[in-house]
Amino acid sequence: MGFGGLKSPAGLQVLNDYLADKSYIEGDVPSQADVAVFEAVSGPPPAALCHALHWYNHIKSYEKEKASLPGVKKALGKYGPANVEDTTESGATDSKDDDDIYLFGSDEEEESEEAKRLREERLAQYESKKAKKPALVAKSSILLDGKPWDDETDMAELEECVRSIQADGLAWGSSKLVPVGYGIKKLQIRCVVEDDKVGTDMLEEQISAFDEYVQSVDVAAFNTI
């Protein structure tokens, strides 16, 4: 697996083709997979590679939040098309946590006073950095089904109404129309919420308020991130 060399035009083309039918490298929400690939790209892809450029700009908007995105960063060779080998420099090994610090001297020689002092300083820096790390925010991925009244309901307008709902701790994701029968399609839309700020009751209540378009709202899936 891989994208080839992500710093080369050929590698960016592979990335663009891969994202033609996807919003993210893995899954339906931004994750550490997107961070790993984003950090391997040297800059914004050219405008001709519209899928890769749209993804790049979207992930860039999470710059201050990337450490809190779900998942675990893996080697670049763990992502992308199965028939392409990763050749991006520094992508051949799994990334290490930024907090990894070498704390111990060599076992082959006696520790000197200077080495001991340096080790204690690094240990103090490590503990200080750990103490300053922000607490993890509990988040959930929710898949909602919005059912219209009939087959004449303007589903684009319905989706626009749903996305107009804004709240601190709420981020809308991908959506699609799913046939339910007799020419009627329901809106299936995903969102990510901060659990202590946004709940399913609030979402169902606000979406149901658009009763000109919405007959009912259901939670199709709920997963803790």
- Helix, strand, coil percentages (3-state) for the chain, rounded to 5, are 35, 20, 45
How large is the average pLDDT for residues 150-171? 94
Instruction: Return d(Cα 224, Cα 100) in angstroms, integer.
Output: 27
pLDDT band per the 50, 70, 90 thresholds, residue 205: very high
Q: Percentage of residues in the chain with pLDDT exceeding 70?
A: 86
- Listed in sequence order, the DSSP H helices in 89-216 are 113-132, 155-163, 200-208
pLDDT one-digit tens code per residue, 100-159: 444 444 444 455 777 888 888 888 887 877 777 666 789 999 999 999 999 999 999 999
Instruction: Return d(Cα 72, Cα 133) in angstroms, integer.
Output: 17
pLDDT of 174 over the 90 cut = yes
pLDDT of residue 74: 87
pLDDT band per the 50, 70, 90 thresholds, residue 90: very low
Average pLDDT, the chain: 84
Provide the whole-model pTM.
Answer: 0.42
How large is the average pLDDT for residues 80-106? 54
The answer for 27, left when phi > 0, alpha when psi is -120 to 50, beta otherwise, is: left
pLDDT of residue 153: 94
pLDDT of residue 123: 85
pLDDT of residue 114: 79
* C-beta separation of 178 from 185 below 8 A: yes
Longest distance between any two alpha carbons in the chain, whole Å: 81
pLDDT one-digit tens code per residue, 4-25: 778 888 888 988 998 888 899 9
β-pair type (214-224, 184-194) = unpaired
- Cβ burial 157-187 (10 Å sphere, 16+ → b, else e): ebbebbeebeeeebbbbebebeeeeeebbbb
pLDDT of residue 88: 61
pLDDT one-digit tens code per residue, 29-58: 999 999 999 998 988 999 889 999 999 999
Instruction: Return d(Cα 117, Cα 177) in angstroms, integer.
Output: 63
pLDDT of residue 105: 45
What DSSP character marks residue 12?
H
Instruction: Return d(Cα 113, Cα 70) in angstroms, integer.
Output: 42
How large is the average pLDDT for residues 196-206? 94
pLDDT band per the 50, 70, 90 thresholds, residue 217: very high
pLDDT of residue 2: 72
